[in-house]
Structure 1
Amino acid sequence: MVITRRAFKISRSIIAWLPNEVLFFIIAYAAHPELLSLCLTSRLMREISTRFLYRGVHLNTKKTLKLFLRVDRWCTSPPALSHVQKFLVKQDLKLAEAHVTQITRVVLLMTSLKHLLLYLAEPIEFHQLLQDGVFPNLVTFRYIVQPNTASAFIGFLHRHPTINNLTFASEESIQFPRRADSTYLKIYEGPNWGLSLFDVSGLTSVSLMWYSDGVDIDCCLSQLTEAKDLECIVILTSTTTPTEAEILAGISRHAPHVKVLRLRSLVAKQVGLSLEQAVEIQGHLHKFSALSTIELPAVDYNTEFRLDHDMQALKLWQDACKTISSATLNSIIWQSVNGEWYCANSGIKRLITMMKEGVLGPTFVLVPAFEF
């Protein structure tokens, strides 16, 4: 790694014998101050370092937003903008309409942009950006769609068939004027009704948000039948229905080849999975051909756990689906090694050992880990 105070000396020594491609690779890992120092050493080092100085723009705070909005400074230096590959606005950063106008003006000049992340907690419309933006290399796009920008949103996707990672959200179901061009789409995260906008045959990972009761499971999941390379499914719900067993039944019918299955809820459940519910789930697991990881929704901190019941459930599931090797049940992460299940959460292994030694009874209150 190039050290700032020795940048000039080292740059002269390595330029003599390292190809430009190797220099490029090494400098890619340099810190920001080091890149600035290298820019002062030679024209070659300046050209290489400049690419990395401007490769990402992250608006995380009001201060960074204020600095970025010096539009005149940016617009007098278009070559710098041509190096930007990632533009991100932090999710909780609040923007005014004037900010959006200025940001749009600058982002439109980022011709090499690959990742555009505008997924804000307080949705605000980037209508002009959606309408006029053209980024030939764009691969990742995150956005919150409003009903009156639906047409511009679809138009933006249609102009960018290179997108392979798409995340979008909407507070309500929206009627879009047409389907989107999704030739290279591999990863989709969004509302369940949004799947109908795309050709899903190339998907490898899908995360569906279900915000209301009465979701037609078969209608939603039947579209995944075409996704022959699908490996991961994440279902995020905000209600108590459908149940885990009902969701598993639908997935087993339409995507039995999936390898990773995660069921999550916006609200932690007050009651852990019972042994009876585990048996019901077992009835669907035998249909999966390659399932290795299964995750069920988290439970409330104060839930009483029965680890003996959980281990029974895991053994039942593995009997039904031999390929399962990892599971998250009642907020506890488990791993299977040579057919035996072990708790993978930090600090919980000791509690299980104490239980086996008789120090703790089979029933006790456990504080689970929610960060996986």
Structure 2
Amino acid sequence: MIFMRSAARAISLKSIIAWLPNECLYIILECLATPDLAAMCRTSRLLRNMGTQMLYRYVTICSEVQLERFLEGFWRGVAEKESPVRMIRLFVLEASAVRGHLIEAQGKKLTTILCNMSALEFIRLQPYSMDYSALFQKARFPALATFHGHLRTETAVAATDFLNRHSATLNSVTIINPYPIEFAPGLQRICLPGLRDVCTRPLLLELFDFNDVPLTKITFLTHASDADTSAASFANLRGVSTLQNVTVLSYGDRGQRLTLLHIIAANLPHVQNLTFTEMWRNRAPISHDDSNTIAAALEKFDALKVLEFRNAVGNPSDTVVRWGNACQSLQSIRLNGVTFERRETDWPVTKKRAVVNSDAEDHS
């Protein structure tokens, strides 16, 4: 909309804002930092109604002080129809926000607030020590698409019921547990018809029903206690023809990584992208024997195009040629951030540097 100079002089700033289309105002508000957006919401009723939705769209709690203020601020009027709680689409509770256990009153407030987030699409609950039983039993999020959380023995039944309750909307699930876990016999399996992305430990695969699921990506978080990973856990993944990307974030030793590679090769020969990343300071060079072991596993893949190991090797060129000859479908090999690509007849020396994804390093 274009104003003549004379018209602009005659019209106040407030009137000009009222004349602008809402689409333009949304673009302007999206460019503001949180403090500026909060200040803008106090200038007029129009901007308050538009800006408040954006101000409370994403909520991340990183400290105990933030959690305390969140509970105090959102508890008042939580059940009201126009409560800001109903505008939250993304909620993240970091592990640093909870030290130990919440007191009973705090736990009840948090559960009540979460259960009233009717527009929630993404939720990540990091604190392992918290008891989420009440939330899993009561919560119903009509638009929930992504769930990240821990699974404990005592909450396994409630958690699986919660996930199955959102089977019509969930497409990305992360369920992890840093400790060994025992499940009650006859535990209901997690069935999500729209599931496309899973991040979990290998031993938790048996909880999922992957029949007729359009799964395209799976990430494994492996710990030292996963050393005895059994191929049986991967059996129900064999029929998932849509699975193309597999990533292994390892907190275990090198032998565990090689064992898991052979299991993946035997059960998922159709994957196209395979990445192994050692977490924390667990990285170690790939020895000549390990390189031969990896080459033997690569022979079992039918469609593998991209292979990545974030480890240094003694002689990268020889290793690349050995692996490329073992798997003829390979087109790209990345070693410690350096990318090698197949030519028509051979593999060239280093061609470019790959961008290392720092998000994987921060995964917990």
Please report how far the alpha carbon of residue 134 of structure 1 lies from its aligned counterpart in structure 2 after TM superposition: 0.7
Q: 1:296 to 1:74 in 2, by over 3 A?
A: farther
Please report how far the alpha carbon of residue 68 of structure 1 lies from its aligned counterpart in structure 2 after TM superposition: 0.9
Bigger shift: residues 31-40 or 289-298 = 289-298
Tell me the residue number matched to 2:320.
Answer: 314
> Does the aligned pair in 2 maintain the 1:55–1:86 contact within 8 Å?
yes
Please report how far the alpha carbon of residue 242 of structure 1 lies from its aligned counterpart in structure 2 after TM superposition: 4.8
Q: 1:314 to 1:45 in 2, by over 3 A?
A: same
> Does the aligned pair in 1 maintain the 2:214–2:242 contact within 8 Å?
yes
Indicate the percent of aligned positions where both proteins have the same amino acid.
22
Distance between the aligned counterparts of 2:255 and 2:149, measured in 1? 27
Amino acid at match of 2:166: H
Distance between the aligned counterparts of 1:108 and 1:175, measured in 2? 26
The CA deviation string for residues 148-172 of structure 1, in whole angstroms up to 9 with x for no partner, is 2121111111211112111122322
> What are the residue-to-residue correspondences of 1:255-294 with 2, within 5 Å?
255-265=268-278, 268=281, 272-294=285-307
Amino acid at match of 2:306: T
> Does the aligned pair in 1 maintain the 2:56–2:88 contact within 8 Å?
yes
Tell me the residue number matched to 2:206.
Answer: 196
Work out whether 1:333 is the aligned partner of 2:342.
no
SS of the residue corresponding to residue 202 of structure 1 reads coil
> What are the residue-to-residue correspondences of 1:53-202 with 2, within 5 Å?
53-70=55-72, 71-75=74-78, 78-79=81-82, 80-94=84-98, 95-98=101-104, 99-120=106-127, 122-161=128-167, 162-170=169-177, 171-175=179-183, 177-200=187-210, 201-202=213-214
Please report how far the alpha carbon of residue 60 of structure 1 lies from its aligned counterpart in structure 2 after TM superposition: 1.0
Q: 1:38 to 1:290 in 2, by over 3 A?
A: farther
The CA deviation string for residues 75-109 of structure 1, in whole angstroms up to 9 with x for no partner, is 27552111011111112222423322221121111
Distance between the aligned counterparts of 2:361 and 2:200, measured in 1? 22
The CA deviation string for residues 23-81 of structure 1, in whole angstroms up to 9 with x for no partner, is 43443343223322332444333222111011122111122112112154352755211
Distance between the aligned counterparts of 1:335 and 1:169, measured in 2? 31
Please report how far the alpha carbon of residue 132 of structure 1 lies from its aligned counterpart in structure 2 after TM superposition: 0.4
Work out whether 1:229 is the aligned partner of 2:231.
no
Distance between the aligned counterparts of 1:179 and 1:10, measured in 2? 59
SS of the residue corresponding to residue 168 of structure 1 reads strand
Unaligned residue ranges in structure 1 (runs of 5+): 1-7, 300-304, 347-369
Amino acid at match of 2:121: K
TM-score, normalising length: structure 2? 0.79
> Does the aligned pair in 2 maintain the 1:190–1:209 contact within 8 Å?
yes
> Does the aligned pair in 1 maintain the 2:310–2:337 contact within 8 Å?
no
Please report how far the alpha carbon of residue 126 of structure 1 lies from its aligned counterpart in structure 2 after TM superposition: 1.6
SS of the residue corresponding to residue 193 of structure 2 reads coil
Amino acid at match of 1:166: V
> Does the aligned pair in 1 maintain the 2:218–2:246 contact within 8 Å?
yes
Unaligned residue ranges in structure 2 (runs of 5+): 1-10
Distance between the aligned counterparts of 1:199 and 1:233, measured in 2? 18
> Does the aligned pair in 2 maintain the 1:326–1:333 contact within 8 Å?
no
Tell me the residue number matched to 1:30.
Answer: 32
Distance between the aligned counterparts of 2:49 and 2:134, measured in 1? 32
Residue among 190, 193, 207 paired with 2:219? 207
Distance between the aligned counterparts of 1:188 and 1:54, measured in 2? 28
> Does the aligned pair in 2 maintain the 1:215–1:242 contact within 8 Å?
no
Tell me the residue number matched to 1:363.
Answer: none
Amino acid at match of 2:78: C
Amino acid at match of 1:117: R
Tell me the residue number matched to 1:251.
Answer: 264
Please report how far the alpha carbon of residue 192 of structure 1 lies from its aligned counterpart in structure 2 after TM superposition: 1.4
